[in-house]
Amino acid sequence: MKPSKQRTALITIAGVWMLAAILLFSATAAFAQNQKGKDIYSQLSLFTEVLQKLKQYYVTDLNDEDLIKAAIIGMLGDTDPHTTYFTAEEFKDFTTSTKGAFGGLGIQIDKIGDYVTVVSPIEGTPAYRMGITAGDKIIKVDGKNVVGFSTDEAIKHMRGDVGTQVTITISRPGIAEPMDFTIIREIIKIKSVPYFFKLDNGVGYIRITQFNENTTPELREALTGLESQNIRGLILDLRSNPGGLLDQAVDTVNEFIGKDKLVVETKGRIPSSNRQHYTRHSTRARNYPIVVLINEASASASEIFAGSLQDWDKALVMGRTSFGKGSVQQLFPLVNGNGIKVTTSYYYIKSGRCIHKMLNDKLLKGKEVSEEEKKEDEAKSHEHIYYTVNGRKVYGGGGITPDIDIQSDLLSNFGIELRRKNAFFNFTVDYLVDHPNYNVPIDFRVDDSMLSSFLTFVQNQNISYTAADLDSTTSFIRSTLKSEFLRKKYGDNEAYKATIDQDKQLQAAIDLFDKYTTMEEMFAHAAR
């Protein structure tokens, strides 16, 4: 081994020693007793001996960095699925995703066939201003061919420092020659609240997709806009919200329950992990009824939000029991630019419920969980009874159990196949290329002629279906086609509104406001 490589290996090994020493010396007395006779130095000596033998005798040359990385990943993998190791690039990407902004172009993309394709330009961004449109296929970035690249690979080439330029080459349906767009990268805000509007029955609707550093101001803007329209109630949609920043969860709960109220506390093994998080701001009273929608993919900060409004009797929770990701991670940068994310505590909300579902750790690590185990886990969660501030019963043991359980509609296999092959998006792109002067009114309807054209398109894409498939899916097809056409003309907000009639859980929430006018009436209904 070259001297420089030897020095690198020794420094890396020393770093591993230090990390292992910190982890092991901070263990409890009980852990130390169980590990009696297993001296830390003898264990590290064993590790070093194995590494040396491997380097000396293995059949091919081995890379020091790869070996140490594998050892670290193996060590962290023996904990829980949320304790992970990042390379320097991964660590940077992870921290960027929670900041809510990055230097980019402003396009939503997806992989369609071999091509990274523009799904939608984001209004007000450089790409939007330069006329990049849905359906454009990105074939080069700064002259580099990206056909066949994954979306993540393409994003790495397109993102960069704010103020720098990038040239992307586009293949556009209906245009023979590729087109070059030279774009100056700007800060692209990741919308946490992409949709809010007043429904036909006078109830406000707000969709929260994640909790990043923009969530609280975006929520306040949405509330101000809706309350200026004199809404008589509010639906907060947190379905499939994976969570995000804890302080944003607390601050958004603050908007509904006022100042100096306990939202959540963290409890861990070391004293610094034990903290209570209270609301800090005086806010206006919101006395209209509120419903929070959650599902099996609502996790972490979204569970704190939903569970807290439930605990403080500020909202009725509807949908399906949430995911149960109630563990807290802390990011630790390492000396070489890499980093680790370590689970340090669990979340407990006002009623005393622990959000974390231990069974999920097993699932996320790829271990099999039988249906019997799932049923037992669900039954156990209902054995733990807690109470809201006004004495309503709520259940703990992992995840947030809704006050009213509503299942979502399942798509037919035909509907799934249409989505999987991007039939709706591709049809609307082709249709508007073939009909450049086609007018899309705000009250656009998919008539029988357009439905017939779509089904012909589907057949040409080798997607087969039966008469029964069509009977069960026609309403979904009309709604989704309408949504895609409206997106091209009026943007995401109008496109999203067009899908409401196909959303069983949201319709159930809307119907609740048509039957009951106060929060107390809704609570009484849920308790029956």
User: Is 311 designated active site?
Assistant: yes
Task: Please give the structure tokens belonging to residue 445.
Answer: 């309807």
219 belongs to a structural domain? yes
At 490-507, the pLDDT tens digits run 888 899 999 998 999 999
Same domain, 238 and 130: no
173 belongs to a structural domain? yes
Given a contact cutoff of 8 angstroms between Cβ atoms, the answer to whether 255 and 223 are in contact is yes
DSSP 392-422: -EEE-SSSPPPSEE-PPPPPPHHHHHHHHTT
Q: Which residues pair with 347 in a beta bridge?
A: 266
Q: Which residues contact residue 322 at a Cβ distance below 8 angstroms, ignoring those fewer than 6 apart?
A: 294, 295, 296, 298, 299, 302, 303, 306, 355, 399, 400
User: Is 300 designated active site?
Assistant: yes
Residues 24 and 403: their CA atoms lie apart, in Å, by 43
User: Of 379, 405, 431, which residue is a domain's last?
Assistant: 405
At 212-227, the pLDDT tens digits run 989 999 999 999 999 9
Same domain, 263 and 364: yes
287 belongs to a structural domain? yes
Marked catalytic residue, from 120, 171, 192, 300: 300
517 belongs to a structural domain? no
Same domain, 175 and 288: no
Question: Which of helix, strand or coil describes residue 166?
Answer: strand
User: Is 61 designated active site?
Assistant: no
Torsion angle (degrees, nearest 10) of CA 65, 70, 76, 78: -160
pTM of the predicted structure, to 2 decimals: 0.76
Q: Which residues contact residue 29 at a Cβ distance below 8 angstroms, ignoring those fewer than 6 apart?
A: none
**What is the mean predicted confidence (pLDDT) over 38-56?**
88
Same domain, 130 and 108: yes
The average confidence (pLDDT) of the chain is: 87
Residues 342 and 360: their CA atoms lie apart, in Å, by 17
Given a contact cutoff of 8 angstroms between Cβ atoms, the answer to whether 522 and 291 are in contact is yes
Same domain, 373 and 438: no
Same domain, 314 and 382: yes
Same domain, 140 and 184: yes
What is the CATH classification number for the domain harbouring 150? 2.30.42.10
Would you say residue 28 has pLDDT above 70?
no
Marked catalytic residue, from 311, 361, 377, 503: 311
**What is the mean predicted confidence (pLDDT) over 354-367?**
82
Q: What phi and psi values does residue 169 have, to the nearest 5 degrees?
A: -105, 125
At 300-339, the pLDDT tens digits run 999 999 999 999 999 999 999 998 999 888 889 998 889 9
Name the residue with higher pLDDT: 183 or 10.
183
Residues 35 and 45: their CA atoms lie apart, in Å, by 16
pLDDT at 3: 46
pLDDT at 428: 92
Residues 495 and 194: their CA atoms lie apart, in Å, by 12
Would you say residue 14 has pLDDT above 50?
no
Given a contact cutoff of 8 angstroms between Cβ atoms, the answer to whether 229 and 199 are in contact is no
User: Of 355, 384, 405, which residue is a domain's last?
Assistant: 405
Place of tokens 């092959």: 421
- Going by the DSSP 8-state scheme, the letter that residue 271 receives in this structure is G
Same domain, 398 and 423: no
At 447-472, the pLDDT tens digits run 999 999 999 999 998 999 999 999 99
Same domain, 383 and 429: no
**What is the mean predicted confidence (pLDDT) over 437-446?**
91
Task: Please give the structure tokens belonging to residue 314.
Answer: 């500020």
Marked catalytic residue, from 325, 350, 357, 488: 325
- Range of weakest confidence among 284-293, 411-420, 471-480: 411-420
Given a contact cutoff of 8 angstroms between Cβ atoms, the answer to whether 313 and 519 are in contact is yes
Residues 496 and 451: their CA atoms lie apart, in Å, by 20
At 77-136, the pLDDT tens digits run 889 888 988 888 878 777 766 566 667 898 878 787 788 988 777 766 888 778 788 788
- Taking residue 101's Cβ as centre, other Cβ atoms within 10 Å add up to 15
**HSE (CB half, 13 Å, CA atoms) of 240?**
3
Name the residue with higher pLDDT: 26 or 236.
236
Secondary element (H or E) of residue 307: helix 301-311
476 belongs to a structural domain? yes
Same domain, 358 and 267: yes
Q: Categorize the per-residue pLDDT at 509 as very low, low, confident or very high, splitting at 50, 70 and 90.
A: very high
**What is the mean predicted confidence (pLDDT) over 335-363?**
90
- Taking residue 264's Cβ as centre, other Cβ atoms within 10 Å add up to 26
Q: Which amino acid is located at 509 in the chain? A: A
Q: Compute the C-alpha angle 383/384/387, nearest 5°.
A: 130
Give the Å distances, CA to CA, from 265 to 241, 304, 388, 396, 497.
Answer: 21, 10, 16, 15, 37
Residues 448 and 453: their CA atoms lie apart, in Å, by 9
Distance of CA 501 to the CA centre of its chain: 24
495 belongs to a structural domain? yes
Task: Please give the structure tokens belonging to residue 427.
Answer: 């049809």
Would you say residue 375 has pLDDT above 90?
no
Same domain, 317 and 212: yes
Full residue range of the structural domain in which residue 477 is found: 413-502
Instruction: Domain count for the chain, please give it.
Output: 4
Residues 243 and 207: their CA atoms lie apart, in Å, by 13
pLDDT at 27: 43
- Range of weakest confidence among 112-121, 137-146, 405-414: 112-121
Task: Please give the structure tokens belonging to residue 79.
Answer: 């904990």
Residues 331 and 343: their CA atoms lie apart, in Å, by 9
Residues 2 and 425: their CA atoms lie apart, in Å, by 56
Would you say residue 36 has pLDDT above 80?
no
pLDDT at 383: 81
| C-alpha radius of gyration, the chain, whole number | 27
94 belongs to a structural domain? no
Q: Express as a percent the part of the chain with pLDDT over 70.
A: 91
Would you say residue 17 has pLDDT above 60?
no
Would you say residue 60 has pLDDT above 60?
yes
509 belongs to a structural domain? no
Residues 103 and 121: their CA atoms lie apart, in Å, by 15
pLDDT at 101: 63
Same domain, 23 and 114: no
Look at the chain and count its residues.
Answer: 528
What is the CATH classification number for the domain harbouring 363? 3.90.226.10
